[in-house]
Amino acid sequence: MYALFFRQVILRMSTERAHHVGVAAFRWGWPLVAAARWLRLMPPAPVSGRVEALGTVFPAPLGIAAGLDKDAVAVKGLWLAGFSHVEIGTVTPKPQPGNEQPRAWRELDVRGLRNRMGFNNVGADAVARRLATLRASAVGRSALVGVNIGKNKTTSAEDAPLDYAYCARVLAPYADYLVVNVSSPNTPGLRDLQSVAALRPILEHARAGAVEAVRGRKVPLLVKIAPDLADDDIDAVADLALELGLDGIVATNTTIGHERGPGGLSGPPLLSRSVDVIARLRVRVGADMCLIGVGGITTADDARAMLDAGATLVQGYTALVYEGPFWPSRINRQLAKR
């Protein structure tokens, strides 16, 4: 059914237009999603799928990765569709338009996507207002929301820690966890911030911002890394995360290791590298740290491979585009069965 809709409707739209239509469907269609859930067309995962992590209980392993709901407009719909957590963002301190269009492409032969969006978002203050409204509703209070934060394009590398501190301060009050994103390939120089020397002050500033804003509750702090880091650099980030007492690592973002044109590639071609990165991180950080595995997960077997490699939780984005709105509920139920 969705395959037909994908071919006849979605493929007739540009990738970016289809994205907006999809987000709008989750945004405005959340009561329909709630009804589908109630009618058990999109049943929640059974309790056997629950995962304890980051100081809370996730109803299942699979959540929606950052980048789909950059401005936190569709959290209710995504949550009710069966994602165990919704990572919004990347959010920057000031609003910014992102790169010029076209900036997203389908890679149909591999069921992948390629994008160079460049952190288009409405900015931290506007997202904080949205999240405040969301948290005032019953569904919004129950949803587990991660907030992925970044720096504005015009902010220099030296001032980057201040951008992360600002976002953490403004958004931590509404977040179940925060993710410092230093791994998008589409903001010039951003990935250089993954070096330990640059990353340390960013993580320290982000944590200070969160602690200043939220007293009496610890907001877990994670860092999201690229699949294109050399193994030694992955180890260095893992060591820094341990040293700073970080709560987790999200691995991975999109890859620039391809020859399909500009932007980062997502979807199935990423899976094996992302699984390898998670396996490497798990050995390095030990058993306790939360690792969120993301990159190319389409089937329950893919998700299981990520979990077996050492991931605590998993996320997906590209497969939602190709598999449709019943995908999260289906995968999370299959994961709970095994």
Strand stretches in 6-58, DSSP E: 51-53, 56-58
AA identity, residue 172: A
User: DSSP string spanning 187-207?
Assistant: STTGGGGGSHHHHHHHHHHHH
**Least Cβ distance, residue 23 to ligand FMN (angstroms):** 11
Enter the tokens of residue 171.
């958004």
Nearer to ligand FMN, 165 or 294 (CB): 294
Nearer to ligand FMN, 137 or 154 (CB): 154
Nearer to ligand FMN, 35 or 122 (CB): 122
Sign of CA dihedral 247, 170, 88, 183: negative
Q: What are phi and psi of 73, to 5 degrees?
A: -100, -15
Nearer to ligand FMN, 155 or 254 (CB): 254
Nearer to ligand FMN, 136 or 263 (CB): 263
**Least Cβ distance, residue 244 to ligand FMN (angstroms):** 20
Rule CB under 6 A: which residues touch ligand FMN? 65-67, 70, 89-90, 104, 113, 115, 117, 119, 148, 181, 184, 224, 253-254, 266-267, 270, 294-297, 316-319
Task: Tell me the C-alpha to C-alpha distance, in Å, between residue 89 and each of 149, 268, 313.
Answer: 6, 22, 18
Residue the block writes with tokens 């077996």: 308
Integer Cα distance of 190 and 181 in angstroms:
9
- Residue of closest CB approach to ligand FMN: 67
Q: Are 202 and 162 in contact (CB under 8 A)?
A: no
Strand partners, 116: none
Nearer to ligand FMN, 45 or 222 (CB): 222
3 state DSSP class of 287: coil
Nearer to ligand FMN, 30 or 317 (CB): 317
184 is catalytic: yes
Q: What are phi and psi of 153, to 5 degrees?
A: -60, -35
Kindly state the helix (H) or strand (E) to which residue 305 belongs, with its residue range.
helix 300-309
Find the catalytic residue in 84, 183, 184, 329.
Answer: 184
Count of positions (residues) in the chain: 338
Q: Measured between alpha carbons, how far apart are the two ends of the chain, in Å?
A: 26
Integer Cα distance of 29 and 24 in angstroms:
8
Integer Cα distance of 256 and 273 in angstroms:
12
Integer Cα distance of 163 and 2 in angstroms:
40
Give catalytic residues, as residue numbers: 184
